[in-house]
Structure 1
Amino acid sequence: MELRGVEELMDLLYACRAAPAGPAPGGRADPHQHALRTAALLRRGRPADKELQLAGLVQAIGPLLRPGDERGHRDHAADAVRSLLGARVAGLVRGHVRSVAGPADDDLLRLRQADEEARTARFDAGVLEDWRTVLELVAARNSRLGAVD
């Protein structure tokens, strides 16, 4: 599945609220809150890196795209957001649970750390609507860059 726009992505992210929670240390993680916390932690650590923040946010849609396919949910999420948010976001989503070598190591490490911390962190990460503008900006930039190719 390839997402056609920010509104479709927002709908999927909102749908994460109704998704079954996955296992987490000390309890079960709410996928919607986990995504918001991961993105918020990345925003704190790398405020200028919107693509990294969005990778933390959108990874949550994978299980909704192919329920029951636990091994492939990162790939499904990456494939879905690639045309909308760009290759870097897709690559981060796809690679953040794998061991990779290369210049993106630091970004992937930060994403994995935020993902783990968000499983047990308890803070107000705001609401999904807070991310709409960032999603729109990255999507618009990606659209312009894609038009140049």
Structure 2
Amino acid sequence: MELRGVEELMDLLHACRGGGPTADRRGGAAVDPYEHALQTAALLRRGRPADKELQVAGLVLVIGRLLRPGDDTGHADLAADTVRPLLGERVARLVRLHALGADDLVRLHAGGWADATLVEDVLALRHVDEAGRTPGMDAGVLEDWRTVLELVADRARAAHHLPGA
């Protein structure tokens, strides 16, 4: 699936609402995927207010599970491939790498495939992915994210059109 704009992405995220609760890999609290997306993004907004791409990565983590229900191994790759054309390479890499274990991330860094900043960002994303499963937490509504999604999409489009990009 290729997203043609922020509106399509928002429609996809809205489709996560009522998609059935999902628990984290360690058997933590089960929450609606839509609520999980909003909670994850809100926690990242609080902890890393200047990093809009990281916040958006937290918001879109859930779409791989929506597009291919029951695929616990390929959901991150699918989500990353789906958002890359719209939201850019960094968001896609964060989404893809968040599913890796800490040991895998250390190996990527040691092998030169990921710099220390990327590893730190992925670890932050993993942490809030786990923390963003609090039943009843008020994390706002998806419409609150429209401007941020448009900003990240505009930056990705501009970066794609730069000479040498």
Is TM > 0.5 for Structure 1 vs Structure 2?
Answer: yes
The answer to whether the 8 A contact 1:22-1:31 is kept is: yes
Structure 1 stretch displaced more, 95-104 or 34-43: 95-104
CA spacing shift, 1:146–1:46, aligned 2, 3 Å? same
Q: TM-score under structure 2 normalisation?
A: 0.85
The amino acid of 1:52's aligned partner reads L
Match of 2:145 among 131, 137, 146: 131
Higher helix share: 1
Counterpart position of 2:58: 56
| Counterparts of 2:90 and 2:10, CA distance in 1 | 19
Distance 1:86 1:127, change over 3 A: same
Mind listing any 5+ residue stretches in structure 2 that lack a counterpart? 110-114
Opposite residue 98 of structure 2, the aligned amino acid is: H
Q: Aligned equivalents of 1:30 and 1:20: distance in 2?
A: 6
Tell me which amino acid in the other structure corresponds to 2:10. Answer: M
Given candidates 124, 129, 140, the residue that maps to 1:115 is 129
Query: Equivalent residue of 2:23, what SS?
Result: strand
Give 2:87's aligned residue: 85
Q: Within 5 Å, give how 1:1-149 maps onto structure 2.
A: 1-24=1-24, 25=27, 27-98=29-100, 99-100=104-105, 101=109, 102-103=115-116, 104-120=118-134, 122-148=136-162, 149=165
Deviation at 1:27, TM superposition (A): 4.1
Structure 1: segments with no counterpart, 5+ residues: none
Deviations 1:71-111 (A, max 9, x none): 11111000000010000000000001203133211101110
**% identical equivalent positions:** 62
Deviation at 1:28, TM superposition (A): 1.9
Relative to its length, the structure with more strand (as a share) is: 1
What amino acid is aligned across from residue 14 of structure 1 in structure 2? H
Structure ID, larger Rg: 2
Q: How many residues align?
A: 149
| Root-mean-square deviation (Å) | 1.4
| TM-score normalized by the length of structure 1 | 0.93
Maintained 8 Å contact 1:26/1:120: no
Q: 1:2 to 1:14 in 2, by over 3 A?
A: same
